[in-house]
């Protein structure tokens, strides 16, 4: 007797919604730079708790970095489509050779 469980339609829809929210967050961070949870929620027209939970998942997967309290930015080399790029600085702080 198999104990393997398949997803129901509702569960699949929920997972797809979570992934869509995460992709939208990554796209906004790519386009606008570091944003806090409330700014992201406003831009995405969704509840701040939804954004906070999605950002926590992205942080756990090392796709975004927490900078300050409830403010997120992409990790170096991350883009919204999931592809990594060469390291870029998007925090406005130059290296010593750039000063």
Rounded CA gap, 79 and 66, in Å?
16
Which domains, ranges and CATH numbers included, belong to the chain? 12-80 (1.10.10.10)
CB atoms within 10 A of CB 55: 24
> Which residue did the predictor score with more confidence, 74 or 88?
74
Rounded CA gap, 21 and 54, in Å?
7
HSE (CB half, 13 Å, CA atoms) of 14? 6
pTM: 0.68
Q: Which band of pLDDT confidence, cut at 50, 70 and 90, is reported for residue 82?
A: low
Percent of the chain having pLDDT more than 70?
72
pLDDT at 98: 35
HSE (CB half, 13 Å, CA atoms) of 6? 3
């Amino acid at each position: 007797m198999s104990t393997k469980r398949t997803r129901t339609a509702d569960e699949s829809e929920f997972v797809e919604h979570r992934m869509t929210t995460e992709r939208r967050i990554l796209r906004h961070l790519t386009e606008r730079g570091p944003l806090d949870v409330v700014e992201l929620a406003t831009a995405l027209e969704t509840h701040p708790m939804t954004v906070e939970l999605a950002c926590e998942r992205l942080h756990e997967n090392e796709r975004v970095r927490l900078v300050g309290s409830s403010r997120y930015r992409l990790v170096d080399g991350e883009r919204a489509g999931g592809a990594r790029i060469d390291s870029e600085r998007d925090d406005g702080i130059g290296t010593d050779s750039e000063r």
